Amino acid sequence: QPGNRVGLIGQNDAVEYGMINPTTMQYWTPAGNINVDFGPTIEEWTHVAVVVNSDGIVVFSNGEVLGETGGGGPVSSGDTFNMGGDGIYDATGNFFLGSMDDVAVYNIALSPDDIAALASGDAVPIARGAAGAGGPPPPDNGWIFSEQEGETAAPTFGNEAGTLSGGVEWSTEDPFGSGGSVSFNGTDGTVVMEDLATAYNDLANFSLSIWIKANDTGIDKGFWEAVDSGGGDLWGLRYD
């Protein structure tokens, strides 16, 4: 990602997840945060995940623990979830340049074995067939981006559709060789889950799982966020 503060997914000022700089992944909330060494990973699909429970925060890449810390805990927001930027770390901006697939949000803390199964492909977060024995449960909300047309990303799990906005396009490429993904231009592309604002308010345990492929390294880009209409921030994941 070219720059700092690149957001993957989240809600500004609540859960912020992404790249705080080209070589550091950050998970940030008002209740706790963690920075871990990561990247640059360019033109290659990578599975990333965060698990939060009473013991703290754990960040994973391709099934391996990148870092862990105490803290974390429930946060609240009335804002929308965003994927790919438009206010993950800041009220605006933080756009991600690259592709995402199989975005999954759980209202439980997945185990390390669950994360390893997701990263290896033994258990995909969004079911394409029979679930493997011993894999994680279905996510509470998840999207595989298989529509490949229109401006709506229908949910594979849960009830909340995403709206494609700005420079985001359907892509036939994905880490599993089928289904497709969404590609962000790094300038104004985002997917907004307008009705998912309060789904995870006050949860003490939850997990995020995403496949990402960055097209460049840099700053101020976002993966997923939730941001209010007045420009307030709640939570997210980012490159910073």
- The residue whose two tokens read 């290896």 is 120
Alpha carbons 184 and 165: distance in angstroms, whole number: 10
208 and 224 in contact (C-beta within 8 Å)?
yes
233 and 18 in contact (C-beta within 8 Å)?
no
The proportion of the chain whose per-residue pLDDT surpasses 90, expressed as a percent, equals 40
32 by Cβ neighbours in 10 Å (0-12 / 13-18 / 19+) ranks as: middle
What average pLDDT score do residues 14-29 get? 88
**What's residue 235's pLDDT?**
43
**What's residue 1's pLDDT?**
56
- The residue whose two tokens read 């989240």 is 10
Q: Quick one: tokens of 210? A: 């995403």
What average pLDDT score do residues 125-146 get? 73
Alpha carbons 182 and 12: distance in angstroms, whole number: 21
3 and 44 in contact (C-beta within 8 Å)?
no
Phi, psi for residue 71 in degrees, rounded to 5? 95, -155
Least confident range from 70-79, 125-134, 161-170, 227-236: namely 227-236
Q: Which residue type sits at 127?
A: A
232 and 13 in contact (C-beta within 8 Å)?
yes
Rounded to two decimals, the pTM is 0.85
Alpha carbons 58 and 60: distance in angstroms, whole number: 7
Determine the Cα angle at 183 with ends 27 and 103, to 5°. Answer: 45
Alpha carbons 53 and 69: distance in angstroms, whole number: 11
Alpha carbons 20 and 3: distance in angstroms, whole number: 9
193 SS3 class: strand
14 and 81 in contact (C-beta within 8 Å)?
no
For β-strands 190-193 and 94-95, DSSP reports them as unpaired
What average pLDDT score do residues 83-105 get? 85
For β-strands 94-95 and 152-153, DSSP reports them as unpaired
